Structure 1
Amino acid sequence: MRKLAARNFEDILQYFMPAFKGLFPPEHDKIVQTLLFRLSEWHALSKLHIHTKSTLELLDTALKALCKQARQFQDITCSAFKTMELPREKAACLWRLKDKPTLSKAEGTGTRNKVFNLGTYKFHALADYVHTICLFGCMDLYTTQIAEFTSPKKPN
């Protein structure tokens, strides 16, 4: 699942809920399932081809519910699990640091903790969708999928 485009995540999001059901202890499973539902709900509303005042209000309400659920996921579920970087991430970090002369041998050799971060631009930008749709129109106007579906496929 490396180097996925946004449309790949869109397809994956449709199948995550049943695949994730029961993977976590019951107190966390409900939070994860609700978060996946909220993500799917927000995504479906944001992909509508025609928006009205009421659909934009629904999208804004769905965003508030998604943000609340994401904070609950971060505060309760993420804090209950200790997550570490993957071996390939550690190897990539060590490879990047190998040529730095100021790095001591003890620095950078351990596996680092990985935490869920809501403070990213991608999460912050979700709040701008309703305003952006009001200004520029539906989000499907900006996709590369239209060109990909209409262009002829090259034979293998």
Structure 2
Amino acid sequence: CTIPIFMGLFPELHNSMVCKLLFLLSHWHGLVKLRMHTDDMLEVMEGVSRRLSNQLHMFVNATCPAFSTQELLREVESRRRHQAREGEHDQNHTHGTLTTVTGSHRPKVMNLSMYKLHALRDYPTQIRMYGTTDSYSTQSVMVFY
């Protein structure tokens, strides 16, 4: 568990929020990985999913603005390479001059609009409908020899 690593790393208001978020993420992950789910456990998972969603929103609204975060060096370099390739592509098609590639560290903010975060609350419903993923396989089976 990562909670002891992060404990005390941030100022107190943010420290308790980060630790609570890490605990809820670990709790949710443990519940989702169960191989057998009862109705009671799915209700617990729904409650944890709700609390996790609320905690993520509080984290984004209170903790994220308190810290200035920016792209990693590898992200900047990747963006520069991509822009250079796009510039070469545009130059070949428009016969224009190659534009300069900009590349300073851009600010990064947490985005709650990602599907994987949106889908967290759907897991209990999906488990009720389809069961756990260890009960079936997508691998093709050879029927005839």
Q: TM-score range by the shorter chain?
A: 0.7 to 0.9
How big is the alpha-carbon RMSD for the aligned residues of Structure 1 and Structure 2?
1.8
| Alignment partner, residue 93 of structure 1 | 79
Does residue 121 of the first structure (1) align with residue 108 of the second (2)?
no
Q: Percent identity?
A: 40
* DSSP-derived class of the 2:35 partner: coil
In the superposition, the TM-score normalised over structure 1's length comes to 0.75
Structure 1, unaligned runs of 5 or more: 1-14, 144-156
Residue 19 of structure 1 aligns with which residue?
Answer: 5
Whole-angstrom CA distance in 2 between matches of 1:139 and 1:119: 25
Shift of 1:141: 4.0
SS at match of 1:100: helix
Asked which structure has the greater CA Rg, the reply is: 2
Answer yes or no: is the 8 Å Cα contact 1:46–1:139 preserved in 2. Answer: no
Q: Structure 1 residue 136 and structure 2 residue 122: aligned?
A: no
**CA deviation profile, 1:13-66 (whole Å, cap 9, x unmatched):** xx2101111111111000000000010111111122221111111000000000
Counterpart of 2:62 in structure 1 is 76
Q: Distance in 1 between matches of 2:136 and 2:68?
A: 38
The residue type equivalent to 2:8 in the other structure is: G
Cα deviation 1:73-111 (Å, max 9, x = unaligned): 111111100100011110111011113336742x63221
Quote how far apart the aligned CAs of 1:142 are. 6.7
| Aligned counterpart, 1:108 | 102
Letter in 2 for 1:40: S
Residue 142 of structure 2 aligns with which residue?
none
Count of aligned pairs between the two proteins: 128
Q: TM-score normalized by structure 2?
A: 0.81
| 2: CA distance, partners of 1:29 / 1:139 | 35
Greater alpha carbon shift after TM alignment, 46-55 vs 69-78: 46-55
Amino acid at match of 1:27: L
What is the distance in 2 between the residues matched to 1:109 and 1:62? 41
Partner of 1:8: none
1:49 aligns with 2:49: no
